[in-house]
Structure 1
């Protein structure tokens, strides 16, 4: 008997990806009645008779909530939908899930993800009070690769076994810089070397509440053996760099550590116009959502947090939303991120190293890397040792496949003076320009709120609180190869930032530590010499208990901080000097205007600290200035 659900082939998938953004729009999310049609036995014609849309209930391939493993049936249903959309440019498909929990196991392949959509187009995964419970903590959840106009909505992702572990510290030995950890029931063993490589970092917690421990260094670099001690506990050795804060670790503290790698809750790679909405992610081996070299990604109305009643102390092992590359930036709006083991959001582009120069310096031989390059792009060349921008040049020719992450030879229109082997090369045209980050909540998280290197965007209406690190960081990360160097045309407005730098070692570090920080860094996070930012408007933000500075403006031309409301409570930790409500350094055409300040510390902070290299920089209507 012929199969009514034809097997998808690479050829049909490639046909599907030939359709660009001009294809038929994705249909609206399914109603509960359609999504819950467990009795359907095959593709269902769309309501109203839409001729180019088909619904594919996962039940048509036998997926049922509660069964031991619905993974094979879900994967086959997605393949059915992909074959339909590949057959004609107008076709769209919805893969429908009923209410309930679908258990999804390992597919027996080397794939990093439990569910994959590769080279597909115009497919919506639609849940209705649906949970996907992942059975293998070594794999990510959903991967969307080289696809166009895919959406995922109404689905909760969680892991049966969390991809991290946690326990209670039972002994501390200052002489050997070690502590013993008793793992809590239900969490994986450190003997699992796929999850736990023997070294990494972990965080201190209040073992009763699971919250990050206050008033201490939050994060410690550690190493640990492959087997427990005779009593079943695990001995951790604190890295020499952190032994000066060993006294922060006490018997009875909680400690959590997890996998850091390339498995994430939802991962996008080289995909365009992906929409993720109304999702819940309780755990992930890496980031909750990562968007790699993808464009116009939308993440909205979603939650990343621990499952209520689970006794877990962290949700994801990495960022809430992590984005690099792409010609059109993401839209991240109306989400809530909590209990992350790294930053709330990070938006940037990756570098390619300059391996050689030829043709009098107009031919740049670039090492392999994920940053794509095309004719007409603007490349930025940066001295790797200190982040100094040597200059920019326009691309006139590209040899090699820029999407394959292999080496390229790029011809530019003009020589960049001083360019040298070993420099970092960023593509400013492929750096998530045009992003929107609005109305998100980021709280109780190890890391900072928003880490930004992109341009032409808005950060507004976000609520950031109880973070171990800083609030909004507009600066490069030379040590991690994240750039480009300098943001332009940003609006940062209406954000509320409270109780950040819970990690006491970050109150004074770096020297520009602030609730909102605009800076240029060297590889060692000292201030760089370039004025790399341009046209930055910071206004109407509310800050409570900032670290060294409330707002820091540095390394910029045309930067403004207006109508900032700053409160400092009496108990807010003091920081190294200088410390002030506003810090100014290496600015041209800077302006601080109309601040309200309520400082309850004694003595109060200075209103403004003025550092070197200030040109035409003015402070008006700031109390105490």
Structure 2
């Protein structure tokens, strides 16, 4: 009873302290509104509340040659949704502040009970952490001794559970499995769950750039997000320098945080010129740390007479502009011809078209969502077939540079590249449950593109690929890997001109390095240190050899 009373008073104290703290915070919108049209917008040192519950994200639109700086400023959002949005801005600099959330975007606790038949477990939420609006959309297990992600375990999602319920008005929740799967969880392990806004359809991410040119983001720290921490879409030449995604501070008496953002750290999508990401520290987030990507689309109809193709999509607002270069990829997974966009129109595919195409991609995710599309009129129409893919080569982040960053301690990849004409060098990648660095289009995500002219050098990998074996997952700590719609490794020609040298891999399972489907592969002076560890068979379905430091398939030099 004494322990229960003590915990009760601790929780009450922290709740009162946090409420008082929130009342003391200055209103950020007032500070920013007062400086509209200024060439320099300053956020003075101090703590500020961004009332995105009432007002949504703060929007900076159509700025040119403006600097927003806040050295010594901390921004706290009161709703788990987008904080700052930058739209159609050119030559802006954003620097020197942190973003956090209260309530947090996640909660955490400890497994206090578990079914002997392995069909359910119960979690007691830690003092000071949210107990309202919890979701089991991303459930992660942590080692109580290291407070890092549990080795030989997995991240689970709603599809793994048949029920998720609070037990009365307590801080305890029961998660009932849909079958007796195992994440090797046990009583005493730590668990992290998502927390969502009470608003309907809250905007995702924390910091977002859209259609911005030459934005410079420097010394910005993000401690939480309902999805990505930094997200850019359809931008050009963004520079991230000394930015951080990490586990934030806690009130006295609260256990230290286990997670930072709920998903990716820095996510660059559909850039016309890729980002320069340097000197950043991206760790403990719920998905990939740094990603540069475009989008691929399967072809559902071809009209030779008008030089038109019709594509399937699962999202709106597709990025295609007149004059863009499209890359054609055969269904078998190798690149073919290129063509220019003449015009684009919206198109709603028929149910027959949709079903015919999604059936060709056995591992395609979110199949039911491929209900949108576009008609693209081209300057030329190479030979192609239904089920082939195209991606907008002009918007995959070509020209990216990822250097001198420290990333890791996350459930997926440290760095993920779906782009060309770029370099990844002198990074430290530590504690990634999946690949430390993956170069690959991930056809099951319809990711784009298929890399060409990419250099990977002087990177250091440590304790990667520790997740529970997934035989369909891309193998390798440093991996250049492709699987086509049939789940087969394509012939050489998915990738081109890949140069990999002077990288070091330690405390990670074999194979340390994987290359598939590359035309013009060059690699040398890479070191994979042998490491006896729990057996992993990631990629077994592709007939990977797990006794070799380097595994290759279908490459030419």
Bin for the TM-score computed over the shorter chain? 0.7 to 0.9
Offset from partner CA, 1:27-55 (integer Å, 9 cap, x none): xxxxxxxxxxxxxxxxxxxxxxxxxxxxx
The corresponding residue for 1:166 is: 108
Query: Relative to structure 1, is the Cα distance of residues 160 and 570 closer, same or farther in structure 2, using a 3 angstrom cutoff?
Result: same
- Name the structure 2 match of 1:70: 27
Q: What is the match of residue 582 of structure 1?
A: 550
Moved more, 452-461 or 271-280: 271-280
Are the aligned partners of 2:82 and 2:204 in contact in 1 as well (CA < 8 Å)?
Answer: yes
8 Å contact kept, 2:164–2:175: no
Which 5+ residue runs of structure 2 have no aligned equivalent?
Answer: 1-21, 197-201, 348-370
Residue 380 of structure 1 aligns to a residue whose secondary structure is strand
1:504 aligned counterpart, secondary structure: coil
Aligned to 1:128: 71
Q: Aligned partners of 2:404, 2:335: CA distance in 1, in Å? A: 37
1:303-336 alpha-carbon deviations (Å, 9 max, x no partner): 1111255611000101111111021011100001
For the structure 1 residues 542 and 572, does the alpha-carbon distance in structure 2 shift closer, same or farther, using more than 3 Å as the test? Answer: farther
Matched ranges for 1:563-578 at <5 A? 563-571=525-533, 573=535, 575=537, 578=545
Give the alignment partner of residue 377 of structure 2, picking from 398, 404, 411: 411
Corresponding position: 1:200 with 2:137:
yes
The TM-score normalised by the length of structure 1 is 0.73
After superposition, the Cα gap between the structure-2 partners of 1:351 and 1:262, relative to the gap in structure 1 and judged at 3 Å, is farther
Q: 1:532 to 1:210 in 2, by over 3 A?
A: same
From 488, 504, 527, the equivalent of 1:542 is 504
Q: Deviations over 1:182-203 (max 9, x none)?
A: 11122222x52xx63xx42311
State the distance in 1 between where 2:312 and 2:536 align. 45
CA distance in 1, matches of 2:293, 2:195: 23
Contact preservation (8 Å) 2:143, 2:189: yes
Instruction: Identify the residue that residue 40 of structure 1 maps to in structure 2.
Output: none
Is the 1:387–1:478 Cα contact (8 Å) retained in structure 2?
no
| Residues 428-439 of structure 1 mapped to structure 2, 5 A cutoff | 428-439=393-404
**Counterpart in the other structure of 1:462:** 427
Partner of 1:96: 42
Q: 1:552 aligns with which of 484, 504, 514?
A: 514
1:388 deviates by 2.4
Q: CA deviation at 1:550?
A: 1.4
Q: CA deviation at 1:208?
A: 4.8
Aligned-pair CA distance for 1:446: 1.5
Distance 2:536 2:219 in 1: 41
In structure 2, the residue matched to 1:491 is 455
Aligned equivalent of 2:82: 140
Aligned match of 2:320: 373
Show the counterpart of 1:621.
Answer: none
- Aligned residue number for residue 302 of structure 1: 243
Question: Are positions 1:476 and 2:441 aligned together?
Answer: yes
Larger Rg: 1
1:373, distance to aligned residue in structure 2 (A)? 2.3
1:31 aligns to what?
A: none
Superposition deviation, residue 262 in structure 1: 4.9
Aligned equivalents of 2:182, 2:53: Cα separation in 1: 44
Q: Provide the C-alpha distance between the structure 1 equivalents of 2:292 and 2:93, rounded to a whole number of angstroms.
A: 21
After TM superposition, the structure 1 stretch with the greater mean CA deviation from structure 2, 225-234 or 448-457, is 225-234
- Whether 1:392 aligns to 2:337 is yes
Q: Secondary structure at the match of 2:523?
A: strand
Change (3 A) 1:475 1:407: closer
Report if the CA contact (8 A) 2:439-2:479 is conserved. yes
Instruction: Show CA shifts across 1:339-363 (max 9, x none).
Output: 1111111111123453533243611
How many correspondences in the alignment?
494
Q: Secondary structure at the match of 2:104?
A: coil
One of 161, 173, 178 as aligned partner of 1:234: 173
Q: CA deviation at 1:263?
A: 1.7
| CA-CA distance at 1:230 after TM superposition | 3.2
Note closer, same or farther for the CA distance 1:561–1:255 as it changes in structure 2 (3 Å cut). same
8 Å CA contact 1:489, 1:534 repeated in 2? yes
Q: Structure 1 residues 72 and 513, CA, compared in 2 at 3 Å: closer, same or farther?
A: same
What's the secondary structure of 1:568's corresponding residue?
Answer: coil
Which residue in 2 is equivalent to 1:532? 494
Tell me: CA distance 1:159–1:245, structure 2 relative to 1, closer, same or farther (3 Å).
Answer: same
Task: Provide the aligned C-alpha RMSD in A.
Answer: 2.8
Contact 2:109 2:192 in 1 (8 A): yes
Kindly indicate whether structure 1 or structure 2 has the higher relative contact order, using CA contacts under 8 Å at least 6 residues apart: 2
TM-score, with normalisation over the residues of structure 2? 0.82
CA–CA separation in structure 1 for the residues paired with 2:516 and 2:161: 37
1:426 to 372, 375, 391: 391
Query: For the residues of structure 2 that align with 1:401 and 1:275, how far apart are their CA atoms?
Result: 34
Per-residue CA deviations over 1:483-512 (Å, capped at 9, x if unaligned) read 12x211111000000110121325x653x5
In the TM superposition, what is the alpha-carbon distance from 1:223 to its structure 2 partner? 3.3
**Cα 1:300–1:76, aligned 2, differ >3 Å: closer, same or farther?**
same
**Taking structure 1 as reference, are residues 387 and 301 closer, same or farther at Cα in structure 2, changes over 3 Å only?**
farther
Give the deviation of 1:453 after TM superposition.
Answer: 0.9
